[in-house]
Amino acid sequence: MKEYDSVNYRDVPLFRDVAEEDWNDWKWQFRNTIRDLDTLEKIIRIDEDEERDLERVLQTFRMSITPYYACLMDREYKRGSVRLQGVPSIEELAYDPDDHEDPLDEDVDSPVPGITHRYPDRVLFMVTRICSMYCRHCTRRRMVGVQDEHLSTRSMDQAFAYIEDHPEIRDILVSGGDPLVLDDGPLEAVLKRLRGIDHVEIIRIGSRTPVVLPQRITGDLVTMLRRYHPLYLNTHFNHPAEITRESRDACARLADAGIPLGNQTVLLRDVNDCPYIMKKLVQELLMIRVKPYYIYQCDLSRGIAHFRTSITKGMEIIENLRGHTTGMAVPTFVVDAPGGGGKIPVMPNYLLSQGDRRLVLRNYEGVITTYTQPENVFSDCGHCRICEDERYKPLDGVAKLLAGEKLYLEPADLKRRRR
Ligand SMILES: *Cc1c(COP(=O)(O)O)cnc(C)c1O
Ligand code: SF4
């Protein structure tokens, strides 16, 4: 079994005298996040050009880096994968005409503050705007790290009322910001209230703390969380360098509490836009019991254009994973559609051709093979209990076409319909 090293914070002069007790205390880490240039310069080398640039960027965008994550940075190398995620770059100020404040229309699809209801059976519930670290590539930078605030009591009440009023919501994604910046008490209040709603079946927490503030995953926290099962947690590792003894231990505590862990990576130029880095990342994630879930195409939020890769790069990465390593390690590569269309999976083509009976497929080795479909493909359905309730529920989208509920879908403003 691979052993991971702890972060050697005593090698950094600024932290040399920090007591171990403090270092391992998430509140100490949180109180001491690095927010200004002077402190940052005590940890990594910043040349004059960079210093001038940073002063400018910090007038527009805030910086916050946990001491722990700062210690993962390469002291000398400007373009290191950890440093790029935490230290602002002058390119954030570049104006790109394709950028949007809210490219995913999360605010448009928001019936009440804090809730984004995009998919039929699940909602995103943003309980805070605060994060322990402000990732430079954050897609929600329009709100995260702008004003430090949790969702107000009044908005909380509205959000719960909305969920209560919508029995079709069976899955809540507690997100932010980072919900684990809340103390155990307020966090438990949220979970308890959600668990009190009959139709809420699963709760998912989205948090980057296992990566940037692993100290947050305390014994007390997991003891509390496990009372609210079925509970899942998705985190956000982007590079193998982020897997340390601390982050591994944090994930182990969560997994030991029966919380299945998933990972959502963002494809970032110069950070992880490489099949070799991604393969190492997904394989190592499985070793710390984290299942790779999604790789996101970097979206069109303002100030992150320098992080974007082609979509093609993501497809190349999937080509290098599928078949080459276990399917357990292969995430789904998705493009989150501008305008709120949600996540759209994109992958290489494995289906080469098809006729009435036979499909022609290729595998990862380039073997071209066939599958002969059965002559009788119609199932003798209509007897099982499961669909008794289901089949009278209205369907959405393309599923509606397949069910024969509609013959076609068309845009609302189709020109020829107005003639
Ligand atoms: C990603 C996302 C979800 C959850 O999607 P899953 O595919 O179920 O993980 C829900 N709501 C919004 C708005 C999202 O962006
Ligand atoms: S932890 Fe998530 S929400 Fe917070 S800054 Fe990073 S990417 Fe954005």
pLDDT digits (tens, 9 = 90+) for 242-265: 999 999 999 999 999 999 999 999
191-215 tens-digit pLDDT: 999 999 999 999 999 999 999 999 9
Catalytic (active-site) positions: 118-119, 122, 131, 135, 138, 140, 299, 336, 343
**335 Cα to the center of ligand 2, angstroms:** 18
Report domain extents, the chain: 9-92, 115-345
Substitution candidate for ligand 1 out of 173, 266, 334, 335 with most atoms within 8 A of CB: 173
Cβ neighbours for 260, distance < 8 A, ≥ 6 positions apart: 232, 233, 291
- With 70 as the cut, is the pLDDT of residue 367 above it? yes
User: Encoding tokens for residue 60?
Assistant: 């527009």
Atom 8 in ligand 2: residue holding the nearest Cα: 138
Could you identify the residue written with the tokens 């919501």?
Answer: 169
Atom 3 in ligand 2: residue holding the nearest Cα: 177
Average pLDDT, the chain: 94
Helix (H, G, I), strand (E, B) or coil at 143: coil
Is the CB of residue 124 below 6 angstroms from any atom belonging to ligand 1? yes
Substitution candidate for ligand 2 out of 130, 140, 143, 247 with most atoms within 8 A of CB: 140
Closest CA to 94 of 57, 59, 136: 57
Which phi and psi angles does 372 have, rounded to 5°? -95, 120
pLDDT of residue 403: 85
82 close to 89: Cβ distance less than 8 angstroms: no
pLDDT of residue 79: 93
Q: Does domain 115-345 have CATH number 3.40.190.10?
A: no
Give the C-alpha separation, 63 to 46, whole Å. 15
Which residues does a 6 A CB cutoff place in the pocket of ligand 2?
A: 131, 134-135, 138, 140, 144, 176-178, 208
Structure pTM? 0.95
**36 Cα to the center of ligand 1, angstroms:** 34
